């Protein structure tokens, strides 16, 4: 009986999570998969990129560079609103984020042979937003205090 209750509770929780508005936005989900991670060290690029199936769009080629933002969606999504400012056609974060920039070491490689060098940085980030959701990571921006 207890297992059935837990199973029912998990099913309800999954249904609630799946019905959230952002679930209907595939570009936002892709952004999260490719760029958002709570914790990560610079030496984990190969493993994380492999486990998340990150490659060049519509290809088996290794992505040249991929940046991971070390934060939650609760901190990143507000950049598209009050926590961001216009930056050309993009939006720039008001606050810097810890990021890991993964750069391909073996040019021209294809999955699963992608090998990356990771570098930890603290930078503001520039993203594209669509209907209040981050949908594209464009670049990191060095931020210097005056």
Q: Read off the pLDDT of residues 79-122 as tens digits, 9 standing for 90 and up.
A: 999 999 999 999 999 999 999 999 999 999 999 999 999 999 99
Query: Rounded to two decimals, what is the model's pTM?
Result: 0.82
pLDDT band at residue 145 under the 50/70/90 scheme? low
Instruction: Supply the residues annotated as catalytic.
Output: 35, 136
All domains of the chain in start order, with CATH:
24-141 (3.10.130.10)
* 103: number of Cβ within 10 Å: 14
Helix (H, G, I), strand (E, B) or coil at 58: coil
Asked if 49 contacts 102 with a C-beta cutoff of 8 angstroms, the reply is yes
pLDDT band at residue 50 under the 50/70/90 scheme? very high
Instruction: Please tell me the least confidently modeled range out of 5-19, 35-49, 74-88.
Output: 5-19
């Amino acid at each position: 009986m207890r297992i059935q209750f837990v199973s029912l509770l998990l099913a309800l929780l999954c249904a609630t999570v799946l019905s959230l508005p952002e679930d209907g936005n595939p570009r936002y989900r892709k952004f999260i998969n490719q760029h958002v991670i709570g914790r990560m060290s610079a030496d984990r690029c190969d493993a994380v990129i492999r486990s998340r199936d990150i490659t060049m769009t519509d290809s088996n080629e290794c992505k040249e560079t991929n940046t991971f933002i070390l934060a939650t969606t609760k901190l990143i999504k507000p950049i598209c609103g009050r926590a961001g400012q216009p930056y050309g056609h993009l939006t720039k974060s008001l606050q810097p984020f810890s990021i890991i920039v993964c750069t391909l070491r073996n040019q021209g490689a294809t999955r699963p042979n992608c090998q990356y060098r990771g570098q930890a940085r603290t930078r503001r980030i520039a993203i594209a937003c669509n209907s209040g959701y981050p949908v594209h990571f464009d670049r990191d921006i060095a931020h210097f205090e005056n």
